[in-house]
Amino acid sequence: MKPAFLIFMVACITFQSQSQPSVQSLHRAQKAITAVIVHDIFSPPVASRIYLYSNLAAYEALTVDKDVKSFYTINKNFPEWSNKPDAVSVDPELSSLIALIYTASRYVFSDSSMLDSMNNILKPYIHYPLFKASEAWGKRVSDSVFNWSKSDGYLRTRKLRRYSFGRDASSWKPTPPGYIAAVEPYWGQIRCIILDSLEAFRPPFVLPFSTDTASPFYKQAKEVYQQTKEMRKEDTLIAMYWDCNPFYLNTQGHLNFATKKLSPGGHWMSIAGIAAESSNANFIKSSKAYFATSVALFDGFISCWDEKYRSNTIRPETYINAYINESWRPLLQTPPFPEYTSGHSVISASAAEVLTEIFGNNFEFYDYTETGYGLPVRHFKSFYHASEEAAKSRFYGGIHYRSAIENGSVQGKKIGKEVVNKLVQKIK
């Protein structure tokens, strides 16, 4: 009897491991999505869209659990479910995993790599009796989210990609070394997820352009110039740590090639995962954290890009070369879009508000996101601490004026609070 009992127990344990996806499977899937986004070199705004719809699908698949509210209860533009299965006939977490990766594969170029990752992650569960039903529900959710995403304005803006930069002295112009054309000049027209209006979140007007050495504009450019000449080792490390440039252009003689890096949104999705893992959050809480963070990033980028191409502010590199020192170069490569406001400042502050609401204030964590790029683990006392460092990294890097950083942080905090009030507090 004893050996038979042991065999029975082993069989039960094996069956259970195949029937209940661990939260580690969710974290693996998130990292797989980020890896493909890096490989395919998506711009930061477009990457945020991939994270958003993938995690919306993952969250929505969990709503077969009666304790998880559909996004429809928050945004009536989102399609309402009919004939939804119950949590007995499907495994919500398994459906969520399938919805997450299957949806991501529909937005990336390397869809085969994404589906290969899905097959590897789902392999332990394929013999589970509820697998087929769970798969069907996950793909049904993915279809619904994907179809809804088609109306967000993205496809329309693909036809508006031609952009003529201003010729006047105050306007943004492409910068060295690649002189790359404007990235996503019409992103401000994309439909937000939570924000009802962009106007309520617009920052103060940019400082009036001037070349007068006594003007505030000249002084803020001179401040950037002086900072990069007086860098401490820690300042340089902070700038490099938060560089998050998905397309770093290397130039060696006649040879040009790109180094692929994480996007700023990808860094904050990683932080969401680190917080979930270090706090032992279960599958549902972790999924909510990923989803809410992706919303903060997505709406944050829309608000920021709306301002960038309205104010169309000249970058420090262009201004300093013209009026202070023609041979000066910033520590970081200047991104190919206007300066005001700082994207890092906006989305970092927005994400920090959301993550603080979910995991608490003064949540200490070790961020190992950039170790794969040769950078050290960094310790942060809170999400606010991390967001403040991310913001000032752009000043240290020589690619933003202080006003863009400070006003961008305020802009991001307002967006984050709106996401907290309208989304996070209702799905927690």
Contact 114/108 with Cβ under 8 angstroms? Answer: yes
Weakest-pLDDT range from 132-141, 259-268, 279-288, 330-339: 259-268
For the four alpha carbons of 170, 348, 373 and 236, in that order, the dihedral sign comes to positive
CA dihedral 395, 401, 403, 406 (to 10 degrees): -20
89/232 same-domain check: no
- Return the bridge partners of 171, or none: 313
Distance of alpha carbon 372 from the chain centroid: 18
Residues 47 and 195 in one domain: no
Q: Are residues 228 and 81 in the same domain?
A: no
Which tokens is 283 given? 């599958």
Given this model, what pLDDT does residue 1 score?
A: 38
Q: Is the pLDDT of residue 11 over 70?
A: no
Nearest Cα to 228, choosing from 401, 378, 406?
Answer: 401
User: What is the pLDDT, as a whole number, of residue 14?
Assistant: 39
Predicted pLDDT of residue 19: 58
Considering the domain architecture, whether residues 223 and 292 belong to the same structural domain is answered as: yes
Its pTM stands at: 0.94
Q: Average pLDDT of the chain?
A: 93
Contacts of 9 (CB under 8 A, 6+ apart): none
Helices (H) and strands (E) in the chain, counts: 16, 4
Q: pLDDT for 75-129, tens place per residue?
A: 999 999 999 998 899 999 999 999 999 999 999 999 999 999 999 999 999 999 9
- In the prediction, which pLDDT does 254 show? 64
Residue 7 predicted with pLDDT over 90: no
Confidence of residue 256 (pLDDT cuts 50, 70, 90): confident
d(CA 178, CA 257): 10
Q: How far does CA 101 lie from the centroid of its chain?
A: 16
Cis peptide before 341 (omega within 30 of 0): yes
- Identify the weakest region by mean pLDDT among 80-94, 160-174, 280-294, 304-318: 160-174
Residues 185 and 311 occupy one common structural domain: yes
- Listed in sequence order, the residues at least 6 apart from 336 whose beta carbon sits closer than 8 Å to its beta carbon are 174, 175, 178, 180, 181, 182, 183
- Clarify whether residues 223 and 364 are in a common domain: yes
- Claim to verify: residue 408 and residue 331 sit in the same structural domain: yes
Q: Which of 152, 179, 205 is the last residue of a domain?
A: 152
Work out the pLDDT band at 318, boundaries 50, 70, 90.
very high
Q: Tell me if 354 sits within 8 A of 416, measured CB to CB.
A: yes
Query: For residue 249, what pLDDT is reported?
Result: 76
**Tokens standing for residue 87:** 């949590």
Q: Are residues 236 and 126 in the same domain?
A: no
pLDDT value for 362 = 93
**Max CA pair span of the chain:** 93
Alpha-carbon distance of 199 to 192, in angstroms, equals 12
Position 251 pLDDT exceeds 90: no
Determine the residue type at 428: K
pLDDT of residue 253: 67
Q: State whether 289 and 371 are in the same domain.
A: yes
Do both 236 and 341 map to the same domain? yes
User: What's the confidence (pLDDT) of residue 166?
Assistant: 83
Query: Which parts of 134-245 are beta strand (E)?
Result: none
CATH number for the domain harbouring residue 301: 1.10.606.20
For the segment 189-213, the average pLDDT, to the nearest whole number, is: 97
Query: Do 343 and 200 lie in a common domain?
Result: yes
Question: Do 169 and 82 have their domain in common?
Answer: no
Domain end, chosen from 112, 129, 152, is at 152
Would you state the structure tokens that stand for residue 133, as one six-digit string?
Answer: 């039903």
Average pLDDT of the segment spanning 1-8: 36
* Confidence check: pLDDT of 20 > 80: no
How confident is the model at residue 5, as a pLDDT? 33
What share of the chain has pLDDT > 70, as a percent? Answer: 94
pLDDT at 162: 78
Sorted by sequence, the CB contacts under 8 Å of residue 380 that are 6+ apart come out as: 364, 365, 366, 367, 386, 389
Which amino acid, one-letter code, is at 409?
Answer: S
Q: Which residue range forms the structural domain that includes residue 290? A: 161-427
Instruction: Using the 3D structure, point to which of 152, 171, 186 is the last residue of a domain.
Output: 152
Count of structural domains within the chain: 2
pLDDT confidence band for 355 (50 / 70 / 90): very high
Whether residue 375 is predicted with pLDDT greater than 70 in this model: the reply is yes
